[in-house]
Structure 1
């Protein structure tokens, strides 16, 4: 079963694949899925992380397999002929997730997705990015980026890329960020502050970011408060594509640079971002490239006085 990105750009909708791990039901954004394949016995890897079942080679590429039941501390499920591999692509990495069944695809609005509260994602330790009611069932949308980053931290933000930037000249241009992950939001703030950006405001999703922009516009202080917007794509309430569309469709806001910084950047999603007017689009691990992109859109000068 192969999946395609069927939605128009900027509609604030997504498609969720509902799947089963043991007897529990979860969801994943279809935009993260490369394909769905039948289960085949994996080749085990000696001394690998316990959450890695092994590897398989569906074509000419070796892909690691993550055991979701082990990741979520659920009872180990007996592998059967009905098991599937959900092969994902995000952060420029292909990973397979072993599940016990695929239930179907549902089209929903980001506005219908509830952001997990602190009782579910205490101290950023939870694995849910959102919860949605579908046909009377509560479906938990899992944080696959976090699952992979916990197994292999090198797939997360490459903080080492900004370590050498400490001591850069202070930049006071106001930057507004929309990022729903508390953990990634804090890391992003720390990295950008280390790179000299001193005036950063973090919002939890696209709607919260848009509400701030609209309030600043109404107060007549938009340009004093926002010089650049950085947004994730996948967020509850309002996604980054819809936020970009709203900004770039507003005559008083369209001049504000929008940088999409997301794990979902691929050829198809890049085309969507371009069609909506995004100024730049970067894959999430590349925090060093994000600093360069901010320098470019804000026309920050290099130490030798030349423009970036």
Structure 2
């Protein structure tokens, strides 16, 4: 089944979520990650021995050979499939398909295939209707970034980046920033306060570590766009009352795109339409940088956009947009 996507206007804080099924439970993923949905044919899969327990093998997809992950096994939802009369490919309301399907996704500059038990439908919703996880559930061990209520059932949004990074680390450290050795440059970077909006606890920690290594030690992180927006509103009011520009408090904003409550595009649009913050550099740092997303970033006025996990280039962009010309070391 070919990928179907309705183009959403940039910065409207809307998203399309594909609801897929594992063990009768509903899960969700942003439609923009989906390249294709196909019926599962075991004959097309080449088994890989001594691999990660959740890796089935490789799948030939067009001109690519993709790693195929059993998402039910990874999410520990396979056991109920053996219950009498239980159809693991349908949510408990009985809707959707009951056939195993393959979701081919692309993010972080990598294509990966995921085996799921079924698919229900695509839901077009506002990010405001997606609930952030509680602090306990949003720990670095969580595989979810939020939840959504549809017709009385809960859809858990899966942190696909975390799953792939844990199963297929594939040289992620090649993008790491070297420890800054220039004391003057380190001091200049440390003087600049950077705001980060990122819903993944794992990535918030990782970005902080990389930026700190590069000298950007004054980093303030927020779990979604709404929290960052609230802080920017507070800082703007504070700056106005003191008769000084917001740039005295914030040098730049780094934002993910997919986030509960308020996404990065809506956050960027607000920053660029607000008189006090319109000159603040905004860098979109997302797993979903493709031609369509680039157009959306430009439409909301983003100063730059870069795909995760290119941390060296992220530091270079911070240098460029905060007035430092020295490039980060590779």
1:131-189 CA distances to partner (integer Å, 9 max, x unpaired)?
Answer: 01011111101110011001012375x47531353555222111111111122111111
What is the CA-CA distance between 1:94 and the residue it aligns to? 0.6
What is the CA-CA distance between 1:5 and the residue it aligns to? 4.7
Q: TM-score, normalised by structure 2?
A: 0.86
Equivalent positions of 1:102-251 (< 5 A) are 102-121=119-138, 123-154=139-170, 158=173, 161-167=176-182, 168-170=185-187, 171=189, 172-220=191-239, 221=244, 222-251=246-275
1:42-75 CA distances to partner (integer Å, 9 max, x unpaired)?
Answer: 2101222121111111322111111011101223
Counterpart in 2 of 1:38? Answer: 39
CA pair 246-102 structure 1, distance change in 2 beyond 3 A: same
1:237-263 CA distances to partner (integer Å, 9 max, x unpaired)?
Answer: 100000011111112211111000011
- SS for the counterpart of 1:124 is coil
CA pair 166-262 structure 1, distance change in 2 beyond 3 A: farther
Number of residue pairs matched by the alignment: 301
Q: TM-score, normalised by structure 1?
A: 0.92
Structure 1 unaligned blocks of 5 or more: 304-308
Structure 1 contact 91–155 (Cα < 8 Å) conserved: no
Counterpart in 2 of 1:56? Answer: 59
Mapped to 2, the partners of 1:119 and 1:177 lie a distance apart of 20
- SS for the counterpart of 1:105 is strand
Give the root-mean-square deviation of aligned CA atoms: 2.0
1:95-140 CA distances to partner (integer Å, 9 max, x unpaired)?
Answer: 111011110000111111111113433x311111110101111110
- SS for the counterpart of 2:296 is helix
Structure 1 contact 127–147 (Cα < 8 Å) conserved: yes
Task: Tell which deviates more after alignment, 33-42 or 69-78.
Answer: 69-78
Structure 1 contact 159–287 (Cα < 8 Å) conserved: no
Mapped to 2, the partners of 1:119 and 1:169 lie a distance apart of 34
Mapped to 2, the partners of 1:44 and 1:175 lie a distance apart of 45
Structure 2 contact 175–309 (Cα < 8 Å) conserved: no
CA pair 284-98 structure 1, distance change in 2 beyond 3 A: same
